[in-house]
Every structure is written in structure tokens, then in C-alpha cells.
Structure 1
Amino acid sequence: MTPPPRRPTVAADPDTTAFVRPYALTRGRTRPRYRLRLESVMHPGTGRPGPGLPEECGQITALCRTRPRSVAELAGTLGCGLTPAKILISDLMAAHVIVPGAGGASDPDQALLLRLRAALTMKWLDE
């Protein structure tokens, strides 16, 4: 029996090899610790991220320190999907690195967030 033909080797593209599977980011977890809505706005907290957190947690922390951000905005900026983003945000909330806001003048427009939530829910039906 002859072996199958070898596939030609292709040089690794850095853009495609840097992809990390969502379950690797969340260490296999599929549910966040806290129930987060798409329009929940995260503010910086007083805690510090612990060792061993993915680099995306550092990105979330930096984004929230520049200005409050919604869960949907954080997930979109990270590009890792809504559920993995919620899990990472929950990890940071547990360490008090970020906290949900009570809704203030600096928060994003509520009507805009509701429209965004409706559109994302229709597309992905995550909740």
C-alpha cells in the first residue's frame, strides 16, 4: 500500500498562528462567575490582577482605565467572543480589578447600548 501524498508545507502566517482557542483563554470554563449583561458598564476597581491571568485580562484592565466600557464593547475590542470575554471580565471582577458601574454621566448612551444588545442578541443568541 502506498502512503498518502504529502501535503506541501506552507510557511506559518503570524496572523493565523496567534489565534488562541476560547477554551484555552478561559481554562476550559464555559460559564462566567457573575451574570453580566451586554450593556453592563465596567469601571476600574481597586484590585490588581493576579498572576497567571491571560494577557487579555490586562487589555480589559487597560481599556477600562481609559474610560468605562460595556461588556459588548470589551468583547468586540478583544475579538474573542462574548462568552469568553464575560468569563475573563468575571475573573477581574472577582479580584476587584474592575467593577460594574452604577450608571453615571460618563457612561455610554443607554439607548445606544439597548439597540446594540438587541442586534447582538439576534445575531448570536448568547443569553
Structure 2
Amino acid sequence: MTGGRTQTRHQLSVDTILRVGPSRTSPPGRVEEARQILTLCRERRRTVAELAGTLGRPAVAVRVLVADLIDTKELVVHVAVPYDDNDQPTTALVQALIAGLRRECPNARDLRHAS
């Protein structure tokens, strides 16, 4: 599937969101899993983890395939705009930061419930 490759030129995590890119031509010899990834991403945006789970393949292998598809511009990384029209952080950005902090610092005190 990946020819033994585990490293990519792209920094992709399991929560990287992907969408179909501008290229509509696939190189010959594309593996079936890459075609399935493109089909899934045409339906809607997907994360690397979701693609791995749906395909039943290891995330590291899916990352390699996704990186290949990014190289050929068949997929692109979806980047949400983190600021609103007033240059203030969006609610989604603040919620993502809070979730990340809670994940990284599970023993931190919750100041809302501190006495």
C-alpha cells in the first residue's frame, strides 16, 4: 500500500482535516485505498483518523497515502479561519484551545469551580 514508507514531507496529525483539491487527474497505478480516500473526501471533509477507521488501515499508512494525494493536489488540508471579521478569535478556536489544554493538562484546576 505504501511501499514500506512511513515518513512524509507533510506534518499530518490524526485530526488533520482534508478536502478534495483542485487536481482531477490521478496518476496511473494509484492504489485502491488512495481511490477510496478520494471518494470519501468528495462526500465531505474528513480527518486522517476518520479515513483510517473507515478504511480499516493504520493511521501511519493513511498519512502516507494522504501526503501523496496532497503532493498531486488531489487533496488539500482544510484550514478553518480562526478569527472573525473584528479580528477576534472565533468560538471554535477558543473551544479547541480549551479542549487541547484539558487534554494536555488533565490535572489542572478548573477555575470555574475553584473555591
Q: TM-score w.r.t. structure 1 length?
A: 0.61
What 5-or-longer segments of structure 2 have no aligned partner? 82-91, 104-115
What is the match of residue 31 of structure 2? 54
Q: Which residue of 2 aligns with 1:84?
A: 61
Gaps of 5+ in 1: 1-24, 119-127
Over aligned residue pairs, what C-alpha RMSD do you find?
2.0
Q: Is residue 6 of structure 2 the alignment partner of residue 43 of structure 1? A: no
Take 2:9 and 2:30, find their aligned partners in 1: how far apart are those partners?
A: 15
Report the 3-state secondary structure (helix = DSSP H, G, I; strand = E; otherwise coil) of the residue aligned with 2:28.
coil
Distance in 1, Cα, partners of 2:26 & 2:17:
19
Seq. identity, % = 38
Please give the alpha-carbon distance, in whole angstroms, between the structure 2 residues aligned to 1:102 and 1:27: 29
> Which TM-score applies when normalising by structure 2?
0.67
Cα distance in 2 between the residues matched to 1:40 and 1:28: 22
Aligned residue identity for 2:15: E
Would you say how many aligned residue pairs link Structure 1 and Structure 2?
Answer: 86
Runs of 4+ in 1 over 2 A off after TM superposition: none
